[in-house]
Amino acid sequence: MTKEIVYKCARCGAIIKKEDLEKLKLGVRCPRCYYRILYKIRTSGRVYFKAV
């Protein structure tokens, strides 16, 4: 089971896959607006944590 990593641009809201970032060779930039802040979107619905 391979989980793909997906990013979202902070400025324009574009959804970008990690493979697309590697193909474009822009570094960590949005291919639409060239903004440098990308948020990683959590792909799994569950988050586990230990209650204190």
One-letter identity of residue 30: C
Two tokens at 33? 């607006």
pLDDT in tens, 8-33: 999 999 999 999 888 988 888 999 99
Asked if 38 and 10 touch (Cβ cutoff 8 Å), the reply is: yes
Query: Hey, where are the domains in the chain?
Result: 6-41
Count of C-beta atoms within a 10 Å radius of residue 16: 20
Q: Burial level of 35, CB count in 10 A (0-12/13-18/19+)?
A: middle
Q: What is the pLDDT of residue 2?
A: 59
Q: What is the pLDDT of residue 11?
A: 95
This prediction's pTM:
0.72
For residue 47, the SS3 value is: coil
